[in-house]
């Protein structure tokens, strides 16, 4: 039986093994591990890639968002809007600041529904933590004017969207700042946890540099209480290597996604992407009313799939104090019961994608 893994990280490493080992040996020989030129080089290259002025490398994607919120002085008494169908970190970082999480339902694109946004804005709303889910940028044509009208900052949760574009503008360049993840399951990933923040604001950049490093002005003087969230130099070196190949990898993601969509659109709900969008398909999600049975059938045929976010954030035990209930966000709840993530990564062979497609068609036509 043919086996199709949901993800296979070893293939990318093997293709870059010599470059990665050379960097590891170079840094290990010098003994330079923290905040070296490799980190600065990655920050400069990443900012250039996203067409922003600045980038700040941090310990993980969650800290990228958390530090963004803290640097904007968001905390107790404030409200931050986000969506209920995301990884737990999107809401968790808001709670960590002491601000109140306010959820807004999503639309067919699985991103924040701009038609429902103004109904959840209050006098306490300080920011929108906007998730670009599955590597698809949210509807900025409608969301940005609403944010500007109410004087609310947009912070992009671009963890899944490195390289995605919307009207030829890249993720990370829409809000006052954006947080990215370099987790091993992301399109641009390192060999462990890592994150990076982009911004065009010099004052915010300078503040974030201190915030990630204990609030230190220099080695001996602390300006404010910060945290320790620094991207290791070895991880930055790996990121520098991989950034060179990112556009090619994202192109392969898109190629595989198009193959899925063209063959499956008559059998399941596939992403409906508009001409002004260019997602990177960090996740390729289909929708089917018998999702669980479909997933079981694919596994029986050697195909690994995942159900990403089967419990919406407003229904998590951690969110009990927010007093949301089942039915409050019907679209997010509908998606939680119908979405299925198919295997997709840049090293996945087209013949295996075709095999996955054939098995889905078989299931749907039985």
294-351 pLDDT, tens per residue? 999 999 999 999 999 999 999 999 999 999 999 999 999 999 999 999 999 999 999 9
Enter the DSSP assignment of 189.
Answer: -
Nearest alpha-carbon partner for 52 in 190, 209, 206, 197: 197
- The interaxial angle of helices 37-50 and 233-243, nearest 10 deg, is 40
The answer to whether the CB of 260 falls within 8 A of the CB of 357 is yes
Blockwise average pLDDT, block size 10, the chain, 366 residues: 90 97 96 95 98 98 98 98 98 98 98 98 98 98 98 98 98 98 98 98 98 96 96 98 98 98 98 97 98 98 97 98 98 98 97 98 95
Could you tell me the pTM of the whole model? 0.97
Q: Where are the beta strands (DSSP E) in the chain?
A: 54-58, 79-82, 100-103, 125-131, 153-157, 165-166, 169-170, 177-181, 195-199, 277-278, 284-287, 339-342
What is the rounded distance in angstroms from the CA atom of residue 10 to the CA atom of residue 20? 13
3 state SS of 363: helix
Which secondary-structure segment (H or E) carries 257? helix 246-264
The per-residue pLDDT for range 159-191, each reduced to its tens digit, is: 999 999 999 999 999 999 999 999 999 999 999
**What does the domain layout of the chain look like in residue ranges?**
11-104+111-243, 246-365
For 246-365, CATH number out of 3.30.420.40, 3.90.1150.10, 1.10.1040.10, 1.20.1340.10 equals 3.90.1150.10
Q: Which fold has domain 11-104+111-243?
A: 3.40.640
Whether 160 contacts 134, CB under 8 Å? yes
To the nearest whole percent, how much of the chain has pLDDT over 70? 100
pLDDT of 1: 63
b/e sequence 336-362, b meaning 16+ C-beta within 10 Å: bebbbbbbbbbebeeebbebbbebbee
Q: Give the closest residue to 197 by CA, choosing from 338, 187, 207.
A: 207
Six-digit token string for 137: 């940028």
Cα(179)–Cα(194) distance, integer angstroms = 11
**Alpha-helical regions (H) of 31-159:** 37-50, 61-71, 89-97, 140-150
Measured CA to CA, the distance from residue 311 to residue 80 in angstroms comes to 21
């Amino acid at each position: 039986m043919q086996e199709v893994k949901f993800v296979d990280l070893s293939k990318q490493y093997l293709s870059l093994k010599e470059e990665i080992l050379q960097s590891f040996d170079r840094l290990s020989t010098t003994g330079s591990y923290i905040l070296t030129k490799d980190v600065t080089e990655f920050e400069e290259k990443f900012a250039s890639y996203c067409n922003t002025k600045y980038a700040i490398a941090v310990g993980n994607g969650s800290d990228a968002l958390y530090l963004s919120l803290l640097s904007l002085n968001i905390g107790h008494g404030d409200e931050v809007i986000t969506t209920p169908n995301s990884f737990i970190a999107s809401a968790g970082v808001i709670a960590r600041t002491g601000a109140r999480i306010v959820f807004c339902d999503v639309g067919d694109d699985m991103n924040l529904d701009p038609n429902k946004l103004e109904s959840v804005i209050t006098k306490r709303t300080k920011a929108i933590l906007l998730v670009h889910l599955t590597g698809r940028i949210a509807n900025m044509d409608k969301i940005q004017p609403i944010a500007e009208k109410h004087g609310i900052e947009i912070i992009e949760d671009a963890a899944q969207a490195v390289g995605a574009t919307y009207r030829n503008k890249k993720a990370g360049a829409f809000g006052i700042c954006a947080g990215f993840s370099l987790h091993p399951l992301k399109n641009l990933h390192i060999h462990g946890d890592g994150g990076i923040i982009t911004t065009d604001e010099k004052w915010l950049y300078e503040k974030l540099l201190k915030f990630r490093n204990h609030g230190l002005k220099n080695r001996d003087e602390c300006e404010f209480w910060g945290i320790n969230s620094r991207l290791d130099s070895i991880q930055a070196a790996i990121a520098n290597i991989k950034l060179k190949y990112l556009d090619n990898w994202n192109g392969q993601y898109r190629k595989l996604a198009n193959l899925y969509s063209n063959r499956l659109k008559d059998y399941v709900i596939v992403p409906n992407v508009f001409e002004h969008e260019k997602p990177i398909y960090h996740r390729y999600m289909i929708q089917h009313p018998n999702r669980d049975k479909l997933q079981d059938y694919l596994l029986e045929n050697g195909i690994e799939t995942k159900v990403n976010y089967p419990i919406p954030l407003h229904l998590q035990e951690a969110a009990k104090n927010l007093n949301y209930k089942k039915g409050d966000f019907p679209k997010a709840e509908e998606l939680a019961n119908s979405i299925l993530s198919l295997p997709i990564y840049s090293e996945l062979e087209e013949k295996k994608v075709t095999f996955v497609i054939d098995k889905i068609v078989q299931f749907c036509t039985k």
